[in-house]
Amino acid sequence: LPQVIIIGRPNVGKSTLFNRLVGKKLALVDDQPGVTRDRRFGEAHLLGLDFTIVDTAGWEDDDPSSLPGRMRAQTEAALVGASVALFVIDSRAGLTPLDEEIARWLRVSPVPVICVANKAEGKAGDGGLFEAFSLGFGDPVALSAEHGQGLADLFEALLPHLDAKQRERDEAEPEEEVDELSGPLKLAIVGRPNAGKSTLINRFLGEDRLLTGPEAGITRDSIAVDWAWTDPKTSEERQVRLIDTAGMRKKARVVDKLEKMSVADARHAVDFAEVVVLLLDATLGLEHQDLKIASMVLEEGRALIIAINKWDVAEGPSGLFNGISAALADGLSQVKGVPLLSVSARTGKGLDELLRVAFEIRETWSRRVPTAALNRWFDDALAANPPPAPGGKRIKMRYITQIKNRPPSFVVFGTRLELIPASYERYLVNSIRRELGFEAVPIRLTMRSSK
């Protein structure tokens, strides 16, 4: 696996980032500088990219007077063999003299550097983020390792450095795609408290294995439950792996905790799932919080289905359905045509259809387009609507390749691609969706310029 190394002065959040990427609480994290003691290696997974992540925090605890010297020696040792370095700064604190000094070492290193402006949740990090532009490592990636925000941007920044290796691996394992679709469908049900998630899971599993109702107060860690679903239409038996998180049953006492909990739950679920079902409550309609969860699922590159639950007690169902459909088209413009279904966890209505759609969308999400077909589409799309020439500068788009699936991710190669306006990127994305059959799933498009 390629190596990605995390570099930065003490207390900028290196360990938190490491843990976020490895997905386990391996390291002790604390607000005190110097809590981590060893240089650590972990296997990282970020939206389908696999790499070894190296945290270089090990020298932080000794005599602070010699810190820069020891950091430099350690950093240089760690950089050997790394594909890319993540230079982490604290965007709340802004750049410090030690940051500037580390930047100077990194500038002379042959390893490519991505500047990560951490602690960027909310607006408090804006100042530091702007300062980070001055470091000369290109656009910094704003993220919050602690809150798990900005990981899609980090993915995009890492992709050009890791994709060659990833592609080699993908080509070496062409049978992978078959496995991807024959394995159990990893499905997560998310939604605000009381949307009916537990009821739905109970219904699926056919027994009262989770307590439901406003009184439920059990807490447990999240577990995956395997279950065989028989499609009544085809009598085909298909395997489903459902995630079942503690928060689905845990009912917080304080109202403002509820909001946070459902989002945290959803985040956990998307780490696990191929397909995420966002459950709405027909008696409440679509609320801001629902859109937030939906956007997060799509930003993390998962296939999304929206199901309006409690359809058995919905008032004015057709108006309700159309209203929600219109609100989604508006509020979820990044992916057009996210499937919208009506269901009842209580009566079972619409649940087989929901699963059918889930299996279908997993296929779309896992699809690969052969390079030749992709480039035929590309030539047509450019001919139909040529890229603009901002300020008379000619943008040259040479070819496109699908570097991965799940979610489908494409890279365009060419020159001066950084000048491409967002509207033109949207044109390409929409055309990929329509012409190549990627409707309703998130896709990624990255531009990669060569000199």
Residue list for the binding site = 8-15, 55-59, 118-121, 191-198, 244-248, 309-312
- List 19, 199, 342, 405, residue binding ligand GDP (CB under 6 A): 199
Q: Which stretch binds ligand GDP (CB under 6 A): 5-13, 132-140, 209-217, 229-237?
A: 209-217
Please, which of residues 324-363 interact with ligand GDP by CB under 6 A?
344-346
- Residues in binding site for GTP: 8-15, 55-59, 118-121, 191-198, 244-248, 309-312
Strand 185-190 and strand 275-281: the pairing is: parallel
For Cα atoms 340, 256, 278, give the angle at the middle one, nearest 5 degrees.
Answer: 15
91, 309, 364, 405: residue in contact with ligand GDP (rule CB under 6 A): 309
User: How far is residue 294's CA from residue 157's CA, in Å, rounded to a whole number?
Assistant: 23
For the bound state, the minimum distance from the C-beta of residue 133 to ligand GDP, rounded and expressed in Å, comes to 43
Which distant-in-sequence residues (6+ apart) come within 8 Å of 255 by Cβ?
none
366 binds ligand GDP, rule: CB under 6 A: no
Q: Which is nearer to ligand GDP, 21 or 345 (CB)?
A: 345
Binding footprint of ligand GDP, residue count (CB under 6 A): 19
The residue within the footprint of ligand GDP, chosen from 125, 128, 193, 339 (CB under 6 A), is: 193
> Which one among 125, 196, 301, 408 touches ligand GDP, defined by CB under 6 A?
196
Among 20, 161, 310, 444, binds ligand GDP (CB under 6 A): 310
User: What is the closest distance, in whole angstroms, from the C-beta atom of residue 150 to ligand GDP in the complex?
Assistant: 28
Between 98 and 246, name the residue whose CB sits nearer to ligand GDP: 246
Note the maximum CA span of the chain.
Answer: 72
Task: Pick out residues in 246-305 that bind ligand GDP (CB under 6 A).
Answer: 248
* Least distance from ligand GDP to the Cβ atom of residue 259, Å: 13
Query: Taking a C-beta distance cutoff of 8 angstroms, is the pair 222, 244 a contact?
Result: yes
Instruction: Please report, as residue ranges, which positions from 150 to 189 form the binding site for ligand GDP (by CB under 6 A).
Output: none
Q: Which is nearer to ligand GDP, 57 or 201 (CB)?
A: 201
Q: C-alpha angle with apex 442: 436 to 443, nearest 5 degrees?
A: 55
Among the listed residues 73, 223, 313, 373, the single contact to ligand GDP using CB under 6 A? 313
By CB under 6 A, residue 407 contacts ligand GDP: no
User: For 354-360, which contacts have Cβ atoms below 8 Å and span 24 or more sequence positions?
Assistant: 354/277, 354/305, 354/307, 355/185, 355/229, 355/231, 355/238, 355/240, 356/231, 356/233, 357/305, 358/185, 358/187, 358/275, 358/277, 358/305, 359/185, 359/238
* Contacts with ligand GDP, residue ranges (CB under 6 A): 191, 193-199, 212-213, 216, 248, 309-310, 312-313, 344-346
